[in-house]
Amino acid sequence: MGERNFEQRCAIKFCVKLGETGIETFNKLKQAYGEHALSRSQVFKWFKAFSEGCESIKDASRSGRPSTSKSDNNVEIVGALVRSDRQLTVRMIASELNWNHTTVHQILTEELAMKKLCAKFVPINLTIEQPDNRKDVCLHLLERIQRDRNFLKNVITGDETWIFECDPETKRQSKEWHTSASPRLKKARRSKSKIKSMLICFFDSEGIVHTEFVSQGHTVNQFYYREILERLRKRVVRVRPSIADNWMLHHDNAPCHTAISVIEFLAKKGISVVPQPPNSPDLSPCDFFLFPKPKFHLKGRHFGTVENIEKAVTDQLKAILVSDYQRCYEEWEQCRRRCVASQGNYFEGDKLNL
């Protein structure tokens, strides 16, 4: 028996003697051991046994099967085999060792507290230096926030994204309720349309500050982007007069954003730039909050013309509440904390879509 299982069975026995219910016992184990807690069925099995007067925390021997099927030695054998190739299936391990399929499964899930997980897709494999850079940037900004709780209220963030005339809906969006006798829903594979429009949007914790669509045939290079920033600057004066003299810009590291002429323009106008680590969409409100919102609602729909696309996107942006933007900025701060906690690596829950 593994040491963790021994501890949890003792805890179950203790809870029984205190008069706790089965569900209370299970919840406490989940709180204490997290993903390594015994399964619900195991907890209730031992809770029932102790409630009926059982005193031993060891598995009862069963006739017809070797009592050492889950011995410490066998647990080590299975553990070593899995560590040598973590993609092995239970059936493959059982075949390799000539053991019972159920025994192998119990050793993996109960004794080793393991479960099979799919790989998590990330934007890009970070270099050795990038996690440290991400962590340093987040620490610096968190220190600024700690010194001044109104810091983020002066930050306007923005980016560009493509909006397609037809963007196929996701597999999850196509789900429908059916009985077991219903034929399975079939859907032809489709690709994004070639008709598209580029949206440029800037917002802060109070909502949209400036949006525009790039004219057809134009490219967002450093000169075009500089013109956009000038229009943004004038827009801030009109719609955000309270921060017009000390607002800061947050954007990513696209070449047109970091060009020398753009940097000189921002310096000349006295606009500070909030740093954004490279390859970090999980730390960009446009990527984890704003852009996914209209795109999700537009998926699977045909708009026919660029004008219809732009109108639909504009309507979706107007529908976002001010409270949503405020929660986004609160979550933005939490994203930085998660990044620091993960030592600069991509963290769980990075695709938030608030």
Q: Which residues contact 263 (CB under 8 A, 6 or more apart)?
A: none
What is the residue whose two structure tokens read 């850079």? 133
**Domain limits of the chain?**
3-59+67-111, 130-168+192-341
- Asked if residue 62 lies in contact with residue 68, where contact means CB atoms within 8 angstroms, the answer is no
Give CA–CA dist 226/247, Å, rounded: 17
CA 322 to mean position of chain CA atoms? 23
What is the residue whose two structure tokens read 């017809």? 64
Torsion angles phi and psi, residue 27, rounded to 5: -65, -35
Q: How many CB atoms lie within 10 A of CB 291?
A: 22
Q: Which residues contact 114 (CB under 8 A, 6 or more apart)?
A: 82, 108
Using the Cα atoms of residue 322, residue 326, residue 329 and residue 331 in order, give the sign of their dihedral.
negative
Tokens read off for 295: 């795109």
Give the three-class secondary structure for 17. Answer: helix
What CATH code would you report for 130-168+192-341? 3.30.420.10
What pTM was estimated for this model as a whole?
0.64
Cα–Cα distances in angstroms (integers) from residue 253 to residues 188, 318, 333, 349, in the given order: 37, 27, 20, 23
Closest CA to 228 of 197, 257, 195, 196: 257
DSSP 133-177: HHHHHHHHHHHHHHH-TTGGGGEEEEEEEEEES--PPPTTTT---
First to last CA, the chain: 44
Give CA–CA dist 141/144, Å, rounded: 5
How confident is the chain (354 residues) per 10-residue block, as mean pLDDT? Answer: 76 89 89 85 87 80 50 86 88 87 88 79 77 95 93 96 80 67 65 83 97 91 96 96 95 95 96 94 94 88 88 94 96 94 80 42
Q: Strand 207-213 vs strand 248-250: parallel, antiparallel, or unpaired?
A: unpaired
Closest CA to 81 of 98, 64, 65, 61: 98
User: How much is the pLDDT for 40?
Assistant: 85
